[in-house]
Structure 1
Amino acid sequence: MRCLKYIAVCLFATLQLFSQQKKLVELIHADSLVGKKFDSKTVRELIGNVHLKHENIYVWCDRAIQYVDENRIEAYGNLKVKQDTLILEANQGVYLGDKKIALCEGNVKLTDGRTTLEANYGNYDAQKKIANFKSNVKLVDSTTIITAEQLFYYRTEKKSIAVGNVAITNLENNITIYGGYFENYDSTKYSVIKNNPKLVQIDTSSSGEIDTLIVIGKFMEAFRDTNISMFSATDSVIIVRGNLSAVCGDVFYYDKKELIILWRNPVVWYENSQISGDSIVVKLKDRRIDEVYVYGSAFAIDPADSSYPERFNQLKGKTMRIKFKENKIDEVYVEKNAMSLYYIFETDETNERKPNGVNYVSGDSVWIKFKDGKMHRIKIIGGIEGVYYPEELVQGKESNFNLEGFNYIKRKPEKNAKLEIVWVK
């Protein structure tokens, strides 16, 4: 009885061993075949219209050397590997049958449905369904082009990881994001980019001029939903677009809604004006600034006159709304604890512009109308208080009259011809 049990166990182990053995690569066709021994190993040279099969994987090439004992194929000329809907092409490569891995080089191209991946070198693991491409990598799908030094493509998870000089171009909105490291999850339409990320959107303004948006930060994410397209940048964020530039802790850009939201100590410059607050929302219309909303500790600063660099018109309150017309500030409305400080200038008989003191006005709300970018009318609503300080009290002591919280930043970010961020006064 013990002997029968022992035989049964041995037989079961033998069957398991056979079931675990790797299947050999099968030859379906070759115009000619030459068999030989090399270092006591069986080697076959296959020439002309070579067609091989390994389980659910098919291989074609012009010429192949089959190492039968190692279950390995060296393929040369018009190499093509196919697994279900995936097709891998290259000038030449090696197929490792035991591991189901194809190692390719020279004009390597992987096609999988709507995704095409190209590089100088590429490996594909048919068991794990993972591709690893290196050198001049380019991935193209229906809406995106990715270039990098190296890219990992996970078929099952529909995920891509790109490393080294990464550039991701979205063909729908002409946005390109650059960085050192990129992850994309196609099934959830989510992407993240690290290592000096930079977003660039090149657009044309209504006047026909090139209008480019640049956003940099330490960490970026993209959410590409059908109804909403949102990009976010985190930590030390800088934004430049046309006459607008900004710095903040975090920014959220809703491309389809034409909305920019700035959080954590945002400061926005528009031409010579500086705006700050707890948070700022910029509404665009046809890619142009339409309205700016400032929430919490709203503060606007505008140089009063270039001949008097220490004089600044100032406006502050709880909230602020700035409306634009033809790309210029049209009106400003401040609510709750509104305060306004503006310098007065008069023109004498010789047409010379001379200073004439400063006005301080406060109220429940302040409305200011602009003309040609300059303050034209001001209206105070509710709880009005006002003080006028004559020129003899102001001259040389301008900083004493600044409103509480005044912080004018002389350097602001701009972009140069190379689309790099530079700081200018």
Structure 2
Amino acid sequence: MKYRHCFFFFLLSFFCVCTHAQVSVGDTTDVVEILQSRKLEFKKLPDGTQVQILAGNVKLKQAGTLFTCDSCVLNDAAKTFLAFGHVHINDGDTSQVWSNNLRYLYGNKYAYLTGNVKLTDGRGTLTTNNLEYDVARKIGTYKGGGKVVNKRTTVTSEEGVYYADIKDVYFKKNVLMKDPANTIKTDSILYNTEMRTARFISRTVITDTSGRRIVTTEGDYDEKTGRTNFTQRTTIVDKSLTVTGDEIKSDDSTGIVQIRGRGVLIDTAKKIVILANSIFANKKTEAFLATQKPLMIIKQEKDSIYIAADTLFSARLSDLYVDTSKKAAKPKPNDSTNRYFEAYRNVRVFSDSVQAVSDSLFYSFKDSVFRLYQNPVVWSRKTQITGDTIYLHTKNKKPTFIKVIEKSFMVSEVQPTVYNQIKSTNMDGYFTDGALDSVKARGAAESVYFIQNQDSAFSSVNQTKSDRIDIYFDSGELHKVVLRSSVQGTMYPIKQKEPSQMHLENFQWLDKRRPKTKYELFE
């Protein structure tokens, strides 16, 4: 009789478990099935609520979600169960969660987990001490600090929301993201564990292993490709190179950086600044292309040089002229002279001592020569020089020598409508302290020179021809003209000739094209 009584009690317990597993509590989605438990006990609480206590390898199921734990207290009236010890929530292919303790509102499918919480979506793993997990929407939220590890990337923050279904994590407050290449500090970041991409939505500072520093407020970063796309004002500091722009795209694999909108490129080693609405820079070749109102500034303590054109391009000189001889010396790293730049269309140059315009320009840092092509004009104080091609030599960024090739023409303004003029096949000019000191005109030279008395009144005008004419200046003013070899000329009383009649062939005064201030080049 005793054994029959025990067997009957066992059947009754089993029947209670199976019966609960089949009973629907309200909506069928609220059903919690008890799949396994070594012990089942019914207990009535002081307030009259009846609960079920399960212990030992407990397994529960709600729809497609499995719950396992060491023990559990199930309250059907409140549609709640408490789980303790080795808690595990298995959402199949979507996510899995572990913790020490769980309070689950199965009517709402909402879980509160505490103690050594770990959530994984199969890609990344979140660890925290407290987690709220929406089982229906597969969303986990923590507010007491958490860490996500995804392959070789680690992200920590004070708060976060983990969207397990779409593999997104929204990190907030004191976010620190580290991967083998970068360290990222920000207040908010959206990270996808499957695509391994990060979206920046607040002020963000990125530092890589080379020391490059990026400051932005909005953009994307792809860990797999190393590509970044910043869509708000961003600054990148990379050793001696600093770039800033409204939009910046960077590809570490190719070394290409694209800057759009109020772009600024500063090379502190070469003392160059580039301003443009569009800049393409190649970090590997150190080349850059600037368009859309580009402006280059060659900086120096005094009298910086400003250059504007439709297009500016700069690269290493050794990449332009490749010396294949065995004795060719390899360029030294960071050699500031191993560089050139080109300017195309509507070229304008301004410095305090010299201004110039042309259709195109080439400058080599090796020899410090500005080569101006197609209708070039150079001005120095009251003197204008034109020709087919002009080479302007500089030293320490100041003009020292000018060479005019073919159709050379120099005009010096004495006063409005009155001009001293020299024309020849070629001209060589020399500067002292940035001011024109003397000019030597060679080949079919002609001149028109107005002579003034001690009161600066005009007394006569001299028109001459010679094989060679030397011109000397004093404080930027024409001081003396010396005619050499095969001289022919006529001196006219000033009353016999109007200044407008004393223009050599092809004379033109181009002051309207002259940049008057550096600010004109910014327009």
Change (3 A) 1:35 1:401: closer
Q: Could you list the per-position Cα deviations for residues 99-119 of structure 1 after superposition, in whole angstroms to 9, with x for gaps in the alignment?
A: 221112222122222322111
Change (3 A) 1:356 1:126: same
- Which residue in the other structure is 1:82 paired with? 178
- Which residue in the other structure is 1:29 paired with? 127
Q: Does 1:252 align with 2:394?
A: no
Q: Is the 8 A contact 1:201 1:213 kept in 2?
A: yes
Q: Is the 8 A contact 1:301 1:315 kept in 2?
A: yes
- 2:471 is aligned, of 356, 362, 368, to 368
Q: Could you list the per-position Cα deviations for residues 282-306 of structure 1 after superposition, in whole angstroms to 9, with x for gaps in the alignment?
A: 12223322111111111000123x3
Deviation at 1:64, TM superposition (A): 2.5
Change (3 A) 1:327 1:26: closer
- 2:189 is aligned, of 85, 93, 100, to 93
Distance 1:334 1:344 in 2: 20
- Which residue in the other structure is 1:296 paired with? 406
Deviation at 1:48, TM superposition (A): 4.3
Deviation at 1:54, TM superposition (A): 2.2
Q: Could you list the per-position Cα deviations for residues 184-212 of structure 1 after superposition, in whole angstroms to 9, with x for gaps in the alignment?
A: 1000110111111122344323xxxxx23
Distance 1:323 1:300 in 2: 13
Distance 1:162 1:47 in 2: 38
Deviation at 1:68, TM superposition (A): 2.2
Structure 1 vs Structure 2 CA RMSD: 2.5
Q: Could you list the per-position Cα deviations for residues 80-127 of structure 1 after superposition, in whole angstroms to 9, with x for gaps in the alignment?
A: 333322223321122122322111222212222232211111211223
Q: Which moved more, 1:331-340 or 1:72-81?
A: 72-81
Distance 1:240 1:251 in 2: 13
Q: Does 1:191 align with 2:288?
A: yes
Q: Could you list the per-position Cα deviations for residues 6-61 of structure 1 after superposition, in whole angstroms to 9, with x for gaps in the alignment?
A: xxxxxxxxxxxx9xxx9823326323344331xx2333334545222223333222
Q: Does 1:389 align with 2:499?
A: no
Q: Could you list the per-position Cα deviations for residues 115-169 of structure 1 after superposition, in whole angstroms to 9, with x for gaps in the alignment?
A: 2211111211223321111323111111122111111111111111111111112
SS in 2 for 1:399: helix
Aligned length: 385
- 1:359 is aligned, of 462, 471, 474, to 462
- Which residue in the other structure is 2:229 paired with? 132
SS in 2 for 1:41: coil
Change (3 A) 1:414 1:254: farther
- Which residue in the other structure is 1:14 paired with? none
Q: Which moved more, 1:194-203 or 1:260-269?
A: 194-203
Q: Does 1:400 align with 2:501?
A: yes
- 2:432 is aligned, of 288, 302, 325, to 325
Q: Does 1:415 align with 2:415?
A: no
Q: Is the 8 A contact 2:294 2:312 kept in 1?
A: yes
Q: Is the 8 A contact 1:24 1:54 kept in 2?
A: no
Distance 1:176 1:44 in 2: 48
TM-score by length of 1: 0.83
Deviation at 1:249, TM superposition (A): 0.8
Deviation at 1:401, TM superposition (A): 2.8
Distance 1:287 1:202 in 2: 9
Q: Is the 8 A contact 1:413 1:422 kept in 2?
A: no
Q: Is the 8 A contact 2:123 2:194 kept in 1?
A: no
Q: Is the 8 A contact 1:414 1:421 kept in 2?
A: no
Distance 2:268 2:173 in 1: 34
- 1:378 is aligned, of 461, 476, 481, to 481
Q: Is the 8 A contact 1:31 1:47 kept in 2?
A: no
SS in 1 for 2:218: strand
Unaligned 5+ residue runs, structure 2? 1-92, 94-119, 318-334
Change (3 A) 1:31 1:218: same
Distance 2:409 2:339 in 1: 30
- Which residue in the other structure is 1:234 paired with? 344
Distance 2:510 2:173 in 1: 64
Change (3 A) 1:311 1:70: closer
- 1:148 is aligned, of 237, 240, 245, to 245
User: Which of the two has higher C-alpha Rg?
Assistant: 2
Change (3 A) 1:77 1:337: same
Q: Which moved more, 1:239-248 or 1:255-264?
A: 255-264
- Which residue in the other structure is 1:278 paired with? 388
Q: Is the 8 A contact 2:353 2:435 kept in 1?
A: no
Q: Is the 8 A contact 2:467 2:484 kept in 1?
A: yes
- Which residue in the other structure is 2:74 paired with? none
TM-score by length of 2: 0.68
Q: Percent identity?
A: 20
Unaligned 5+ residue runs, structure 1? 1-17, 206-210
Q: Is the 8 A contact 2:121 2:164 kept in 1?
A: no
SS in 2 for 1:89: strand
Deviation at 1:334, TM superposition (A): 1.2
Q: Could you list the per-position Cα deviations for residues 264-322 of structure 1 after superposition, in whole angstroms to 9, with x for gaps in the alignment?
A: 11111111111111111212223322111111111000123x3xx33311111111111
Q: Could you list the per-position Cα deviations for residues 311-347 of structure 1 after superposition, in whole angstroms to 9, with x for gaps in the alignment?
A: 3111111111111123332211111222222122234
Distance 1:280 1:366 in 2: 19
Q: Is the 8 A contact 1:335 1:365 kept in 2?
A: yes
